[in-house]
Each structure stands twice: as structure tokens, then as C-alpha cells.
Amino acid sequence: MLPTLWSLALAARGIPPLHLLVIFVTGSFVMRSAGVVLNDLADRSFDRHVTRTRVRPLASGELSPTHALLVVGFFLLLAGILVLLLDPLTILLSPIAVLLAGMYPFAKRVIHVPQAMLGIAFGWGTIMAWAASRGTIEAPAWCLFAATVCWAVGYDTIYALQDREDDRRIGMKSSALLFGSSTWIAVGAVFCAMLLLLGLAGWLAHIGWLYYAALAAVGVWCLRQALQLKQTVSAPTAFHMFQQHVWVGAALFIGMIAGFLI
């Protein structure tokens, strides 16, 4: 949800229209839910062998694949209804969102940084939100899209630290395995790239200084997280670090609004 809110705020130069906020907040929940179900459906045979995920309903057999497909169909129907409330360009962009959501669960079988595919799927919301706001896609939207990809690689690599040993044992690909002892450097680098892209997006949109103050504060916080990864972190610590990124996204959203209104 948060990257789409960034896009709406930047495109609107402040507080976005209420109807777009409602549509994209609801749409983010619906599409994320569909994506989570698809992910659990695709990974159910692997999840049975991972300590953290073996109790998921599909992995444990509590629910069947038919149940999952019915739920996905329901969520996609809701998403389709929401999209029809938007302009023609955004409607044309929407099938790509469904395609990306469907591709992500299989990325971890093919590429060593499946977190990038997650970021692309989440980031597409920034493109749709900008199109819905402006009726076109401009350079700041692509900067937000790329920043979202970098952000997802960073925070989801932290998340993947929880399952590193299980992923190695069952042959799953993960950035946490690829980067190994250099994870702190890789995470720090993608966070830097995220901040630079967000700064460029703000500069192209002629935003005020308060936004850059928010970026600087987030930058210090991201540096602290990257340095924390120099040491081995436990699974609960990794999950807590991952959860904190909700506040990163919220701080940037507030900074964007403040940068235009104050």
C-alpha cells in the first residue's frame, strides 16, 4: 500500500483525492491478499519442510488447493471491480499487476534475488496510482517504481534471514543465501539506491525541503539497520527489523505531504 500512497501524494502535490485513496488502499489489500494466497499455493510442498511455514493452512493440509483458487478468484473479482472505477489508462495497466503477482511465487525457483520480483510486483502500484492521478506516466513515477524495487530487495532480504538454513537445505533461492556474509553491504547498497531514487523523484516533482529532511532521517535509520546485519541476527530480530519498514514507508508518505503543504 505505502508505495502507491507515495505515488498518489507526489502526483497530487500533497493530499491525494479521497476516492483515489480509498480505491488504492482497498486495492492494495485485495491484491496483496491474492498474492499471498498464490504464494502459499505455489509453495505448499516447500513450506512443509520449513519450520516457520509448515503450519500454513495449505502446507498442513487444513485447506485444499481448490479453497485457495476460490479465494484468489474472489479477490481478483474485487480488484477488477475497483479498477473499473478508474480511467482507461489505469485499466489497461491492471492486467500487468495480476501477471506480476502470479509470477512472484515462482521467482524463487529461478532467480537468486526473488525479492526483486516482489518489488516489481509491489512497485507496479506506483505506476497505476500515478496514471490514475495524472492520466499519464511521468518520470517521477518510474523513480518511485525503481525505489520500491530496491526497498523490497532490502527489507525482504532481512525477512529471508529467518529461513536461510531451511532454504539452503531444500534448495530454495534467496538473496539472504546469495549475499551471505556480505548481506549487510548489499542491504545498505539497495537502501542507498532507494533513497537516491526517492530524492530524484522529489526533485523532479519540485517538492519542499521537509521531504528531504524525512529522507535524511530514514537514511540514518537504514544505515543503522545495515550495520546491525554485520552481526548474526536471530529469526525474531530479523522479523522485527522487517516489520519496522512499515514506519519507513509511513514516514516517507508524511514527508511527501509535508513537503508540499508546509
Q: Tell me the per-residue pLDDT of 26-79, one tens digit each, with 9 for 90 and over.
A: 999 999 999 889 888 887 877 787 777 788 888 888 889 899 999 999 999 999
Distance from C-alpha of 20 to C-alpha of 257, rounded to nearest angstrom: 15
Handedness of CA 107, 111, 112, 115 (dihedral sign): negative
Predicted confidence at residue 143, as pLDDT, reads: 97
Distance from C-alpha of 195 to C-alpha of 83, rounded to nearest angstrom: 30
Q: What is the mean pLDDT of residues 141-167?
A: 92
Q: What is the mean pLDDT of residues 174-195?
A: 93
Q: What is the mean pLDDT of residues 3-23?
A: 96
CB atoms inside a 10 Å sphere around CB 75: 21
What pTM did the predictor assign? 0.92
Question: Are the C-beta atoms of residues 262 and 208 closer than 8 Å to each other?
Answer: yes
Predicted confidence at residue 201, as pLDDT, reads: 97
Q: Where are the domains of the chain?
A: 2-261
**Mean of per-residue pLDDT scores for the chain:** 92
- φ, ψ of residue 202 to 5 degrees: the values are -65, -40
Q: Is the pLDDT of residue 227 over 80?
A: yes
Q: What is the mean pLDDT of residues 195-218?
A: 96
DSSP alpha helix (H) spans, the chain: 2-12, 18-42, 44-47, 57-60, 65-83, 88-107, 114-134, 139-160, 164-170, 175-179, 183-204, 209-228, 235-243, 245-261
Q: What are the cell numbers at 98?
A: 495480476
CATH match of 2-261 with 1.10.357.140: yes
